[in-house]
Amino acid sequence: MYIDYNESLTEVMKDFKNAVDKHLDHLLPPEKTMPAKLHEAMRYSVFAGGKRIRPIITMLSCKLFSGNLEDALPVASAIELIHTYSLIHDDLPAMDNDDLRRGKPTSHKVYGEAVAILAGDALLTRAFEILAKAPKTTSIKPDVANLIIETIAGASGHLSMIGGQVMDIMSEAAAGTEKNITELVLFEIHKRKTAALIAAAAKAGAFVAKAGIRDVNLIEDFAVGLGLLFQMADDILDHTASREELGKTPGKDGAKNKLTFISLFGPDMARQKMTEFKQKTISLLEPFGEKANLLRRLTEYVASRSN
């Protein structure tokens, strides 16, 4: 069988994004389903835009190990629902208090805080319903589905994404008073808050493809690096990009004295560290040879993106 190792990342991302969007539309209730306001709010945030990086990583990981991409679709879609729930809650006044997300008013600005919170909750629970039903809707075996659920739940929970958010809030509250905030602390926050779900997305794709434990561990190590690189780029963009480019309010991290790669190192050193970290992350794909070319190009894209 001929395999094109030089296929266009842009085209593959476009195809995967379209497939995920179509599947998400199928998985979410129509807007008019009672209670209509809740379902309207759920769909509003899910279809407000976004690059679909996390589900694309699931699909690319599954593809790397020659898995069934149709089976990976509901898993990838569930991960996007979890990511969207986290954005809705992250934007709330009690947390980042943001008015703009993906170039549109945030959920709580459109539907009010109560409905926004409940829409986020509903997306999270719907995601796990989709994952639990995977043995009935795909050829994924129950034991593999359980492993995927365990992985994604762990990456979303108190020791990972939610825990990282709490650590981020606490570091903001301590700004100017703590003198011992180090690079290791910053990496630990973002390993939990950002990288954990990205790593889970990659592992889930590998599980769908029935990859061996060695390959699962290798792709997880790469994806943790990719997640940290994504956060580095985010911090730099918050400092340099415009509101139109970002689709959200820029400069808020600095205004709130938030702990970021920019606040810790300054713009020039942060860019230098990101370049070095990008090369280190790409090197983690060496065991996969040419088969990982799309993931190499994705890493370059994450580091060079403008939004």
Q: Which residue has the tokens 């979303």?
A: 156
In this prediction, the residues of the chain whose per-residue pLDDT falls under 70 are 1-5, 173-181, 241-248, 250-251, 253-256
115 near 41, Cβ under 8 Å?
Answer: yes
Residue 176 is predicted with a pLDDT of 52
How crowded is residue 275: how many other Cβ atoms within 10 Å of its Cβ?
13
CATH class of this structure's domain 9-304: mainly alpha
Q: Minimal CA–CA distance to 148: which of 163, 135, 164, 161? A: 135
Where helices occur in 209-292 by DSSP H, the ranges are: 213-240, 243-246, 252-255, 261-265, 267-283
| pLDDT tens, residue by residue, 93-127 | 999 999 999 889 999 999 999 999 999 999 999 99
How far apart, in Å, do the first and last CA atoms of the chain sit? 37
Residue 258 is predicted with a pLDDT of 78
Residue 2 is predicted with a pLDDT of 41
The C-alpha atoms of residue 181 and residue 175 are separated, in whole angstroms, by: 9
Q: Rounded to two decimals, what is the model's pTM? A: 0.94
Residue 5 is predicted with a pLDDT of 60
- Residue 101 phi/psi, 5-degree rounding, is -150, 125
Q: Where are the domains of the chain?
A: 9-304
| Gyration radius from the chain CA atoms | 19
| pLDDT tens, residue by residue, 123-174 | 999 999 999 999 999 999 999 999 999 999 999 999 999 999 999 988 876 6
